[in-house]
Amino acid sequence: MATIRDKILLRSIIGWACSLMLVLCAFSGWACLCVEETLEKEFKDVDLVFSGKVLKSGEPKSETAISIEVEFELDEIWKGDKTGNISVSTPIMQVSCGFPFKVGDCYVVFAYAHDKKEPETSARDWDEFFYTTWCENNQEIDESTESKDLLSELASLKSKHQMELQESKNEEEKQG
């Protein structure tokens, strides 16, 4: 038969175990969890890949806003059809997978076009709305060898992508 001391010890152990589980669950629920993708797979999946300098990072539009817009001056584009400046949305906080773009720094950005099924009553031009997160292969670029290697690999992926598009177009013409 268990003594009072054993019961108190057991309750303490159970209490500590429950507290630990609550803490671990709370942190895992708020952490940004990403599936690591190869550069080639991500290049295929996204709608826009470019390099550019951050001109400005917006403020949340309201207290309940979950994302901010970051404006870039386009330098080079590997996938997509854009010129001039472009705004990309990212979650406000890193724990929500927001990417910490810094004004004045240059980045390679992998962005998705927003789902164009938004209500027509919105004032936003949805065709121009792109978003990215911490989980994409976004990277700050500089004069390092790693940055130069990345830019070289993107040039190769662009060529490969253009050839695939041309082959697809040729195949459609043969069938049509």
Q: Which class for 161: exposed (0-12), middle (13-18), buried (19 or more C-beta within 10 A)?
A: middle
pLDDT band at 154 (very low <50, low <70, confident <90, very high): very high
Q: What are the pLDDT digits (tens) for 91-108?
A: 988 778 999 999 999 999
* Nearest Cα residue to 69 out of 82, 79, 54, 59: 59
Question: Does residue 59 sit in the same domain as residue 75?
Answer: yes
Question: Does residue 6 sit in the same domain as residue 75?
Answer: no
**Domain of residue 50, residue span:** 39-173
User: Taking 50 as the threshold, does the pLDDT of residue 165 lie above it?
Assistant: yes
pLDDT band at 140 (very low <50, low <70, confident <90, very high): very high
Beta-carbon-side half-sphere exposure of residue 157 (alpha carbons within 13 Å): 22
Question: Does residue 13 sit in the same domain as residue 92?
Answer: no
Q: Which class for 113: exposed (0-12), middle (13-18), buried (19 or more C-beta within 10 A)?
A: middle
User: Taking 60 as the threshold, does the pLDDT of residue 18 lie above it?
Assistant: no
Question: Does residue 155 sit in the same domain as residue 114?
Answer: yes
Residue type, 71: E
Total number of domains constituting the chain: 2
66: domain CATH number is 2.40.50.120
pLDDT band at 146 (very low <50, low <70, confident <90, very high): very high
Question: Does residue 69 sit in the same domain as residue 109?
Answer: yes
Question: Does residue 43 sit in the same domain as residue 92?
Answer: yes
| Helix or strand run (H / E) with residue 165 | helix 145-175
First to last CA, the chain: 85
Question: Does residue 19 sit in the same domain as residue 50?
Answer: no
Given CA atoms 63, 64, 70, 71 in this order, what sign does their dihedral have?
negative
Query: Can you tell me the distance from the alpha carbon of 67 to that of 83, in angstroms, rounded to the nearest whole number?
Result: 24
